[in-house]
């Protein structure tokens, strides 16, 4: 357990529905990241927050994806009008911004779109 938690752990939804995932980072970490990982691939960067500011978004991120970190603590990732291609593991990570600034990953939310 790295101290990063994600909820839910699993989500099954029908195509066209909206889904929202939550990430609670390590409490003293000001940086938070969202990644997507499919089978046999490494994590793919989606977006990054420093405190409540969203500083970077992947060019691959569809307009159907939106993320927030309203108070600089937990974050939510919403996917609107889900498609089967959205099926993946969604990983959240946090880091302190000091030292190595290594990222600590949560257990992920596995999304299946039927």
- Give the shortest CB-83-to-other proteins separation in angstroms: 23
Binding mask 5-44 for other proteins (x = CB under 8 A): --------------------------x-x-x----xxxxx
Token look-up 């889904």 returns 19
Which range binds other proteins by CB under 8 A, 19-27, 47-55, 65-73, 79-87? 47-55
Binder among 19, 21, 48, 90 for other proteins (CB under 8 A): 48
Sign of the torsion angle spanned by Cα atoms 106, 15, 60, 51: negative
**Cβ–Cβ under 8 Å, residues 90 and 76:** no
> What is the 8-class DSSP label of residue 39?
T
């Amino acid at each position: 357990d790295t101290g990063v938690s994600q909820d839910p752990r699993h989500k099954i939804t029908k195509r066209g529905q909206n889904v929202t995932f939550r990430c609670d980072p390590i409490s003293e970490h000001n940086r938070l990241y969202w990644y997507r990982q499919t089978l046999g691939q490494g994590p793919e960067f989606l977006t990054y927050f420093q405190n409540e500011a969203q500083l970077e978004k992947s060019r691959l991120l569809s307009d159907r994806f939106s993320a927030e970190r309203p108070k600089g603590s937990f974050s939510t990732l919403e996917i609107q009008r889900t498609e089967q291609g959205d099926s993946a593991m969604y990983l959240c990570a946090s880091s302190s911004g000091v030292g190595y600034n290594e990222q600590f990953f949560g257990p992920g939310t596995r999304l299946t779109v039927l």
